[in-house]
Structure 1
Amino acid sequence: MKIFYSNEIQELRATGTRVHTKKPVSSSKKPVKDLNSLLRDIYEVRDKPVRDQDFPKYFRVFQAVSLQLNELMKQADPYYERYSLVRFEGRKDRLRINKPDDLDMEIVIGLPVDTQAPAHNVIEDVAPGFVKLNIGDQLESLLDRGGNWRVIETAHRWLDKDNCLLRSLFMDWYKDVVEKALNLFDMVEDHLPFAMNVIMVEGQLYTLRLESPTYTLIVEDPHSGFRLDMDLIPALEFLDIDSTRMPSKRRKKGNFLVVPIPMGGPHEAAAWRRPLQLQEWDLLYMKQAIRLIKKLRDSQGLSKIESYHIKTIFYHASIEQEHDPEFWSRNLAELFKHFVKRLHQYLENKNIPYFWDTDYNLIGNIEESVLNGYAKKLKRFIKVLDDPSEYKMVAKYLMSESQFKEYKKKILKT
């Protein structure tokens, strides 16, 4: 059993969390006099210190719960003990725009097969971003060579009649392991409506409960209002092949994961999502602009536009701008305006092409009337963006009504 931390968390552990205890700045050090200074003030002075000051506490609780849950899961199931590898990831793309209250505990579950063999031996593409896993032949060959049936039998129960690994059966096993482990935590009844699993972190008691259907572990302090959502993400890992979508100078090999996310359609039961995170991280530039567009999405109620949709727009741009190294050197205001207009165009076209297969439309399942409404909202916003004299009103589109009222009074006063 090995435990890995993402680069972000390794850096935090190496330098200490005190670097994140910076108090929020109450006022801007530089005057807000145009769109660029306004956006930088919102990003660097209003939002970033709030995120940073909260991170140490959330991380300490996340780390304590993750370590204990992992140990109890090993006690609960011998297959998990032998074949699990845990990564405490946080949010590796660092694009969270609110409190750091949603972190990932990525649990890689091994298979008793040769996962270092070429991926095409067991993987079959069934839809953009989705694959089927045919591991039955390898399991049978292990038995023929005198493999340990007690170990192999657990994985064998996840197969269908075609020897494909069914996502639902795997998840039934995985959920059972998590629930058994949670039952090994301490229980309390005092001051709570019913008995709950709890954990003590630095003298503070936190309750634990699973939320369905996302299978998120909710860690709460019922007295202070603290809440941490821990996504318990199971995954299988395989050796990757070259990505043909990437320019040759940025093409790379590396392991890739498949995760049990539903697809729908004829391959629903056996389909696994293949997230191409390693490749996608290299495509993200100007994260300030991404966060601001996410902030715009949230404040304007564009709720069906997911973070991945927004990032995909930047993925496409990173390839399109390979010939223009100066593109990403533009100031924040220029890039923000550029990508707001691109998002508006995608919504008008009712199509955000999936980066790895442009024939697949990521927003094809969203109602046309909803997309038309989103496009109209952005069109009104673009009129404000394009008028330099109206730059202060941009804040109104990025904040709640109460936030803008206070911001206007304290920062935008003339």
Structure 2
Amino acid sequence: MLGGWPRSPDIFGGSSLAESDLMPSRSSLGRANALLERINKRYVSLSDDDMKKYGAEFRTVEPCESPAFVKVKVGTRQPNFRKQKSQKKKPPKQPPKEPPNQPNFGKMLLESLLDYRRYLTQSPLRTWMESVLHQALGCFPQEGDSWVLYDEKQPGRQYMVKVKKSGPALTLNIVLLDGFRMDVDLVPVIELRCSEHLPSHFKLQQYSDRHNTFFIVPKPNKRLPKADDCWRLAFHEQERAVLATYGAGIMKPVCRLLKKLRDTLDIPMLASYYLKTLVMKVISEQEDDRFFRNSLVSLFVHMLVVLKHQLGLGSINYFWDENYNLLEGYHREAVRHCYGRIKNVVEDIQKNIEMDPLVLARHILNDEEFRSLPLDIVEYA
């Protein structure tokens, strides 16, 4: 059932992953499952009202040398050796300042993103995108470190917007007058066709038939931190297809619960994408659909065991190219510490869940959320 998962002993101790780690859907777990579903709905999933709010905001925007990384060369011109030496001494090209409606602006922008070998580079693209964002925000009044945006179609509607920079992403922290908050990550990506540009060792299998494009993202390469021409591959549509197999049912809530537990434990190294990768791996390796008929509790605990096991091995392999370990940039001690915390959670849940379903809430919820549990949930559990 678990397919190609490594079954060697954990490098940090403990037992290997086994089929028996999937908890059976016993009737005694009914209370725990009901509790977990309530936690997911009340504390993890967005409410219907929030979903409508998010959707409404976005609908009013007018139309307008390492595994998992690639280099993109534009054109066929091959520079000679002397030209390489002379251009290395020149300062990097800056993105054009002209507005995008000027003739040849696209060509000028593309040329500014290329190095002397005509390889696409990351830094100028991020610089250009940041400058465009700040130019756009500069059209609005500023209060402190925030810009005040108005909606011309809805008089009186106002947004306070801050910009936070984190790695390749720019995050807009948006606050409405009624206190409603949302964060929007802006990451520049370039879309390419799988059939024309994707290196052959990336196996998209059946997903490339329905989604023949992929993205490259200016994400730093941990193996080659100074390589500005290495772009991280991203297969958003293909991943959506993997999760859609069962994503509309049981596995999306499982993934959200893992992220909520991560946030409560305050383990930032467990990036959302790492957890999503584990869920996709488990989904893709199931040969029997009955696996997904297990209860939410059983699948959630199973994914915790999978997470513990992979941390014990010190690896979470990239779904599309397993030669790339998503954890390879972290120090061994950081991974060991993370493993120990998840191991303690798994053992506590497995030991106590049948007699005390609230053990789930104590780990998934923070103190304030746990204290706010409705009385009927606490009494039922």
TM-score (norm 1): 0.67
Cα displacement string for residues 112-150 of structure 1 (whole angstroms, at most 9, x for unaligned residues): xxxxxxxxxxxxxx322211111133899xxxxxxx755
Structure 1 pair 194–309 and aligned structure 2 pair: CA distance change class (3 A): closer
Return the offset for 1:246. 5.5
Q: Whole-Å Cα distance in 2 between the matches of residues 168 and 181 of structure 1?
A: 20
Between 1 and 2, higher relative CO (CA 8 Å, sep ≥ 6) is seen in 2
Q: Is the 8 A contact 2:315 2:325 kept in 1?
A: yes
Q: Is the 8 A contact 1:199 1:207 kept in 2?
A: no
3-state SS of paired residue (1:237): strand
Taking the TM superposition and a 5 Å limit, the aligned residue runs for 1:110-259 are 126-137=65-76, 151-184=106-139, 186-187=140-141, 192-193=143-144, 196-200=147-151, 202=154, 203-213=156-166, 214-221=169-176, 224-241=178-195, 248=205, 251-252=208-209, 253-259=211-217
Q: Whole-Å Cα distance in 2 between the matches of residues 249 and 60 of structure 1?
A: 34
Residue 261 (str. 1) matches residue 219 (str. 2): yes
Q: Which residue does 2:311 correspond to in 1? A: 347
Counterpart among 282, 288, 297 of residue 241 in structure 2: 282
Q: Is the 8 A contact 1:167 1:272 kept in 2?
A: yes
Return the offset for 1:364. 1.9
Return the offset for 1:396. 0.5
Return the offset for 1:193. 4.4
3-state SS of paired residue (2:379): coil
Return the offset for 1:397. 0.5
More strand by share: 1
Return the offset for 1:234. 2.1
Q: Which residue does 1:56 correspond to in 2? A: 52
3-state SS of paired residue (1:257): strand
Q: Whole-Å Cα distance in 1 between the matches of residues 117 and 78 of structure 2?
A: 13
3-state SS of paired residue (2:71): strand
3-state SS of paired residue (1:303): coil
3-state SS of paired residue (1:353): coil
Structure 1 pair 384–309 and aligned structure 2 pair: CA distance change class (3 A): same
Q: Whole-Å Cα distance in 2 between the matches of residues 361 and 36 of structure 1?
A: 33
3-state SS of paired residue (2:266): coil
Q: Is the 8 A contact 1:283 1:314 kept in 2?
A: no
The residue type equivalent to 1:165 in the other structure is L
Q: Which residue does 1:296 correspond to in 2? A: 261
Cα displacement string for residues 297-331 of structure 1 (whole angstroms, at most 9, x for unaligned residues): 1112222101111111112212321x222111212
3-state SS of paired residue (1:215): strand
The residue type equivalent to 1:397 in the other structure is H
Return the offset for 1:51. 2.9
Q: Is the 8 A contact 2:358 2:378 kept in 1?
A: yes
Q: Whole-Å Cα distance in 2 between the matches of residues 176 and 346 of structure 1?
A: 40
Cα displacement string for residues 363-403 of structure 1 (whole angstroms, at most 9, x for unaligned residues): 12223223222222222222332241122221110111122
Q: Which residue does 1:41 correspond to in 2? A: 38
Q: Which residue does 2:300 correspond to in 1? A: 336
3-state SS of paired residue (1:229): strand
Q: Whole-Å Cα distance in 2 between the matches of residues 173 and 45 of structure 1?
A: 41
Cα displacement string for residues 322-355 of structure 1 (whole angstroms, at most 9, x for unaligned residues): x222111212111111111010111111111111
Structure 1 spans left out of the alignment, 5+ residues: 1-31, 71-85, 87-125, 141-147
Q: Whole-Å Cα distance in 1 between the matches of residues 290 and 201 of structure 2?
A: 25
Q: Whole-Å Cα distance in 2 between the matches of residues 196 and 248 of structure 1?
A: 46
Taking the TM superposition and a 5 Å limit, the aligned residue runs for 1:323-402 are 323-387=287-351, 388-402=354-368
Q: Which residue does 2:98 correspond to in 1? A: none
Structure 2 spans left out of the alignment, 5+ residues: 1-28, 80-102
The residue type equivalent to 1:269 in the other structure is D
Q: Which residue does 2:16 correspond to in 1? A: none
TM-score (norm 2): 0.72
| Percentage of pairs with the same residue | 26
Q: Is the 8 A contact 2:159 2:174 kept in 1?
A: yes
3-state SS of paired residue (1:282): helix
Q: Which residue does 1:100 correspond to in 2? A: none
Cα displacement string for residues 83-105 of structure 1 (whole angstroms, at most 9, x for unaligned residues): xxx6xxxxxxxxxxxxxxxxxxx
Q: Is the 8 A contact 2:203 2:321 kept in 1?
A: no
Counterpart among 274, 295, 311 of residue 276 in structure 2: 311
3-state SS of paired residue (1:234): coil
The residue type equivalent to 1:335 in the other structure is L
Return the offset for 1:240. 0.9
The residue type equivalent to 1:396 in the other structure is R
Structure 1 pair 209–302 and aligned structure 2 pair: CA distance change class (3 A): closer
Structure 1 pair 164–316 and aligned structure 2 pair: CA distance change class (3 A): same
The residue type equivalent to 1:136 in the other structure is G
Q: Is the 8 A contact 1:245 1:356 kept in 2?
A: yes
The residue type equivalent to 1:157 in the other structure is S
